[in-house]
Structure 1
């Protein structure tokens, strides 16, 4: 079995990464061949942002250039473009997973990409990694060729008319909304230093990574002023008293982020999720929460509650920082389904009662 040390060595091959042995124990990372370094104060070692910076520098110093007119060339051109550089770190990472998966066919000429070729790639991705990844592969290929059209690297978009892989009918809903009881149970089980980021997700519908990375400067007297990391959409929301109380209850810290771990340092996503998984497991075992609870599900929870309150989709889009109203509809669809089903069943019951009065009793 491959050890964590071996995995890390393979992942950062060609790099020298170490921490000073004397205070202030700063991290340092150097590309061995070029001696280009990573700013470890900006990109914390072994985080997602650090990995993306490592990958960016590795790409700059690749010996082999992609062949002209191939998929590899298109990917390389796109990765170097302002369009890609403007994407959020998480989005870049998601794109890179697809680029890595496409690596075996990167020498394929662009003219070989037809609608059927892309459909077969989607099917292969579905068999290997599931329907969600398959649809993401199709989406990334589409955006690549669409971008290529603008710069005359491609002549058409072969993925444009390729359908999505079907979602398995027996698959549970991903990131389902939390019940009120589950929200209360988790809040009660969380230690004080973990409550502020949870409340940012629970009340402000921030993505887990956005909540953990929220800087202190984003909070003012009027409330929270930030942007969603994934879409870049602005989010302006008033400060809720329960979050203020939670912040007052935790020890003061010098981290640049609003929330900090038990050591007073900024949370990493892996660090927070590890603690969350441990707490969730205990709550599931006790029956306090049902299986399938995710931090991302809190965004769906906020959208569902807002819709149940009668808020329109434009308002939900504003609060959640969605780029489109369609996403607001998607996140609040359970509330719509519940409301529609409730009205239908009430009317159905009334109809049954009406019919009951029309039944003629025998002998009358």
Structure 2
């Protein structure tokens, strides 16, 4: 029997005596039933797999280049611990840098990074440009200890300012807008909006909350983006909203009309359609976002006289060290209780002057 060999491929008999074949470098298996060993189809498949492997190898970041630094950073624990949304944003920045991935580390300077930053601002906007700068700074910082670069060349690059004529992103909601949204929203949507509105949680974190995270009169959890723990006392308004939420069997506090846990994209789609309908009726102003409710809570508390550090504690804007994890949790709810009481009283005061929604009469 002729023994067939193909460079880069292992051909063998498994423990059942059945012939097997796979590409050594990639582990890609060849189905010998569809492409019999030694046939023209078999050799064609081997050639195809080898060509793909060579192409991927050629595209892989080279050591000692910007692409190599990015690849090293993406394998660090720091990147692995980021929120999924942040990881996607960082990957998009790497895609923007892909055309210059072969730039040698020796050629990376602060003026070069500044030029990249300027070009990014022209092509993808000031916000994304600043994110590119942030990603490069993170990359440099995490590869310095590995001896792959000598300093953070993005540190001295000045972030792009927000254009003066750009609308305020995630602006706070007015009292009237809050009232009309709660009045007009479907019950399963109203419950979600009310939860975000009365806790200041990020929408993605609110949708993920499970029933087990409610202990007595407190919501316990972590902010997904920063890992900061949150302990939010449930005030009368929030309790009323939770009690009025549709009954369902999902493990999460919030659920769709079918009783299943929300996905962020699913809720965003439903919210966008509902918001557009309200905008068409001129019931709300353009620019209303779910994340704007976090700004609403912060703004309301700030106007009521609370300090920024107090508000930051409520919104989970500082990552605590693990050494202080449990001791901080023990009194976090008590520290936040007065803040939630302030928010409750301020919202109640403002709501007394809100008139019921009436569609404006056009002249």
Same fold (TM over 0.5): yes
Q: Matches of 2:191 and 2:310 in 1, distance apart?
A: 24
Q: SS where residue 254 of structure 1 aligns?
A: coil
Specify the alignment match of 1:189 in structure 2.
184
Specify the alignment match of 2:40 in structure 1.
none
2:312 counterpart of 1:323: no
Q: Return closer, same or farther for 1:269/1:150 CA change in 2, 3 Å cut-off.
A: same
Contact preservation (8 Å) 1:122, 1:135: yes
Specify the alignment match of 2:21 in structure 1.
none
Q: How does 1:82-93 map to 2 (within 5 A)?
A: 82-93=77-88
Specify the alignment match of 1:287 in structure 2.
282
Tell me which of 138, 154, 171 is aligned to 1:159.
Answer: 154
Q: Give the C-alpha shift of residue 263 in structure 1.
A: 1.2
Larger Rg: 2
2:256 counterpart of 1:261: yes
Q: Matches of 2:273 and 2:193 in 1, distance apart?
A: 15
Q: How many residues align?
A: 269
Tell me which of 223, 232, 236 is aligned to 2:231.
Answer: 236
Specify the alignment match of 1:347 in structure 2.
none
Q: SS where residue 150 of structure 1 aligns?
A: coil
Tell me which of 209, 212, 225 is aligned to 2:207.
Answer: 212
Q: Give the C-alpha shift of residue 243 in structure 1.
A: 2.9
Q: Tell me, which stretches of 5 or more residues in structure 2 are unaligned?
A: 1-25, 31-55, 320-363
Q: SS where residue 225 of structure 1 aligns?
A: strand
Q: Give the C-alpha shift of residue 167 in structure 1.
A: 2.0
Specify the alignment match of 2:138 in structure 1.
143
Contact preservation (8 Å) 1:177, 1:300: yes
Q: Tell me, which stretches of 5 or more residues in structure 1 are unaligned?
A: 1-30, 36-60, 325-364
Q: What value does the CA root-mean-square deviation take over the aligned residues?
A: 2.1
| CA offset digits 1:95-150 (Å, max 9, x no partner) | 11111211121121112111111111111111111110011111111111011112
Tell me which of 103, 114, 119 is aligned to 1:119.
Answer: 114
Specify the alignment match of 2:305 in structure 1.
310
Q: SS where residue 204 of structure 1 aligns?
A: coil
Contact preservation (8 Å) 1:226, 1:234: yes
2:99 counterpart of 1:104: yes
Q: Return closer, same or farther for 1:32/1:306 CA change in 2, 3 Å cut-off.
A: farther
Specify the alignment match of 1:134 in structure 2.
129
| CA offset digits 1:32-75 (Å, max 9, x no partner) | 9489xxxxxxxxxxxxxxxxxxxxxxxxx978542111111111
Q: Matches of 1:256 and 1:100 in 2, distance apart?
A: 37
Q: Give the C-alpha shift of residue 185 in structure 1.
A: 0.8
Q: Give the C-alpha shift of residue 257 in structure 1.
A: 1.7
Q: Matches of 1:320 and 1:74 in 2, distance apart?
A: 34
**TM-score normalized by the length of structure 1:** 0.70
Contact preservation (8 Å) 1:78, 1:84: yes
